[in-house]
A and B are shown apart, each in its own frame.
Chain A
Amino acid sequence: MDINTKELKKNAFRVTKVRGVTSSRVRVPGGLLKAEYLGKIQKIAERYGNGTVNLTSRQGFEIPGIPFEKMPEVNRELQTIIDGTGINQTGRARGEGYPAAGTRNVSACVGNRVCPYACYDTTALAQKIDKVIFPDDLHVKIVLTGCPNDCQKVRMGDIGIMGMTEPRLDPERCVSCGACIRACRSKSVDALEKVHFRPERDSYKCIGCGECVNACPNLAWTRSPEKYFRITLLGRTGKKNPRMGVDFIKWADEDSVIRIIRNTYEYVRHYINPDSPGGKEHIGYIVDRTGTEEYLRWALKDVHLPDIAEVYTPLNWGGIEYAHNKYFGNQRYHADGTIVTDFSEKTR
């Protein structure tokens, strides 16, 4: 059997542990699709796969157990799903499957189509961003969440987008019930204080979650017409140095979010290690190499932030070092209490 594995991966199939058997990865930007495509996925799984479907960690589907020789047929079957999920198929003919798989599915929480806490339509923005970044082979993870509850865990992605609203108070509608103050204190950052019977908002503390608006019985608090976003940067998992993304911009607007994403792709294309395994390198490691300042120079190019925006500086990532320097890292003990020693000459 002669299969170009590089080509197969770009076509959104996987090299599995079972020889000659692959799985098909179905991209679902924003994690929302019409139910009719589930029937389509079922059909592919039962006809070409082993009858099971995996719900992937990034909200796609993976249909396992497909023999390599069935890939052309699967690709033909996938076309209606590709059309129905609005995937940009540029670079590949219709009926020939996905044009890329490197750039990961844009995942999103359920958002304001359903959730009362969400500050924007996460699905719509995920689909919009997918149109901007896909197809591409660069290994980038973009994650969207509706509010600072961060159910989608945006800080584990390269670029995290967290919905915010700027609460507006109409003091004449305030009845001094204190619901907003209690909600902010118990569920959020305690940014409200009662001054002369009415809430006063500490905009430095406020994270724009909208708990005050939801709690207000009289619509004294309402949401800003503008949708705002907190952008977090360069979280990652993996074998070297997993870490949470850090705050980059508070109160960014949608245009800035999309521009920063575009810029980040350009930066990665320019600086990625040409020898990186499989052409994949987490952005964070590239930034570690070029320095944060260089990344920011690229990321903020032609970005016009709204006046309200706050840019964090400096950006410091901590994170877990699996192979940390033995002289500066923490010690480890065996169960019997003896210290784990490192006799190797090589340390990072």
Chain B
Amino acid sequence: MGYVASREQFGKLFSYWKKEYDIWAPKRFPGGGRFSDTDAVRYAVVQEPDEIEFEVKSAYSWKETVLPPSETLFYFAQNHVEEAMPPLRKRLVFLRSCDLEAVRRMDQIYMKNGDPDYYYARKRDNLAFVMIGCPASCENGFCVSMGTNAADQYDMSIDAADGEFRLDSRRDDWSAVLAAAGAAELDVKPCRVSENKVQVRVPENLTFEVGKSSMWDQYDSRCINCGRCNFVCPTCTCFSMQDMYYDAGGKVGERRRVQASCMVDGYTDVAGGASYRKKNGERMRFKTLHKVLDFKERFGYQMCVGCGRCDDICPEYISFSNIINHLEEGMKEVQDHDSSK
């Protein structure tokens, strides 16, 4: 059911939500950016509708609401193990179309790729989604190319404009709260982006052979393997484990899982001291082909949702969409090389 709600009417619904949910949304942190006197926009629990950042895309993605950078799984003391408490309250997540599509990718890995991940599942089951409409394309996003500009699996959509909220509610109890608050009914469809400045084309003939292309070499020196592209990515699912001991004897402590990055040193370290993918170009190849090739081969659809956050944040101005668009050339290079043999 569609509604147009004033700030006050929407506030009623917000208060209703707060009884049941922690509300996670993009939030502006003044002065919280990397550089002096810059703001950060990232996910946090908000207490008021005004705290929600509707204009600017969050630099870090929705995934922090369910896969925090660091999460304690359980505590141990000799033979005793105590599971860390799950969140006590449900979570309502404000997110954009690209991120809502990313939820499906995250679920694919954590819920439908073998047994469901226990720690993910116990949070995932308690999530609800409010989709923020996009009246215009963001700078680096390429959601239209990736087909992620029209996500639909929301509990409610919201467009904030001119001090009003246009809402498409799919929850009867939420609709009832809005109606009771006096919000006018209206046929509402969330704002969608139909064109991005950035467009990509994943070549039909893409295979892992492209790994032999020279296209990756430039990243040996250009990339600084900081991992920002992974940490902001709404579909990167990797983590590593940390056993942290409180005592010198190593009998008491906690086990955490911590977001990991295939770009950062240590990711491919194995027992015995070996390490694969030492060069940054090799890491870039691995990341790229995971995002636009092997995930699709396994699950039938692309992993990358085209949110463009990796481009937004790269301190070395490496553009992932540019890499995708060079895959065709890369394929041609390896095919020409093979046929000339």
Contacts and interface: CB of A to CB of B under 8 A. Distances in A.
Interface of A: 112, 116, 118-121, 146, 163, 165, 171-179, 196-197, 210, 213-220, 222-223, 225, 227
A172 B37 contact: no
14 contacts: A118-B36, A119-B36, A173-B69, A175-B69, A175-B70, A177-B226, A197-B258, A210-B36, A214-B34, A214-B35, A217-B226, A218-B259, A219-B40, A222-B40
Contacts of B42: 219
Interface of B: 29, 31-37, 40, 42, 59-60, 68-70, 226-228, 231, 240, 242, 244-245, 256, 258-261, 264-265
Nearest to A147: B36
B34 A112 contact: no
Given A112-B36, A119-B36, A217-B231, A177 B261 contact: yes
B36 A219 contact: no
Given A197-B258, A219-B34, 8 more contacts: A171-B70, A173-B69, A174-B258, A175-B259, A175-B260, A214-B34, A215-B226, A219-B32
Contacts of A118: 36
A118 to B, nearest CB: 6
Given A112-B37, A119-B36, A223-B31, A175 B261 contact: yes
Nearest to A179: B226
8 A-B pairs with the lowest CB-CB distances in the bound complex, closest first: A112-B36, A217-B228, A217-B226, A173-B69, A218-B231, A175-B259, A217-B227, A116-B35
A141 to B, nearest CB: 25
A142 to B, nearest CB: 21
B228 to A, nearest CB: 4
A223 B39 CA distance: 11
Contacts of A213: 34
A175 B231 contact: yes
B274 to A, nearest CB: 19
Contacts of A171: 70
Contacts of A172: 68-70
Contacts of B245: 196
Contacts of B31: 223, 225
A118 B34 CA distance: 11
Contacts of B32: 219, 222
Contacts of B228: 217-218
Contact of A177 (B36, B40, B227, B242): B227
Contacts, number: 79
Given A175-B70, A179-B226, A219 B37 contact: no
A177 B260 CA distance: 8
Contacts of B264: 177
Given A121-B37, A177-B261, A196 B244 contact: yes
Contacts of B260: 175
Contacts of B33: 219, 222
B258 A175 contact: yes
A196 B255 CA distance: 12
B1 to A, nearest CB: 38
B265 to A, nearest CB: 8
Contacts of B40: 219, 222
Contacts of B265: 178
Contacts of A119: 36
A197 B226 contact: no
Contacts of A217: 226-228, 231, 261
Contacts of A215: 226
A216 B36 contact: no
B331 to A, nearest CB: 31
A213 B34 CA distance: 6
A172 B37 CA distance: 23
Contact of A120 (B36, B59, B60, B258): B36
Contacts of A174: 69-70, 258
Contacts of A112: 35-37
A174 B258 CA distance: 8
Contacts of B70: 171-175
B69 A220 contact: yes
Contacts of A173: 69-70
A223 B36 contact: yes
Nearest to A226: B31
A176 B267 CA distance: 12
B69 to A, nearest CB: 5
Contacts of A177: 226-227, 261, 264
A121 B36 CA distance: 8
A244 B226 CA distance: 37
Contacts of A121: 36-37
Contacts of A196: 244-245
A112 B261 CA distance: 30
B262 to A, nearest CB: 12
A174 B264 CA distance: 14
Nearest to A171: B70
A121 B35 CA distance: 12
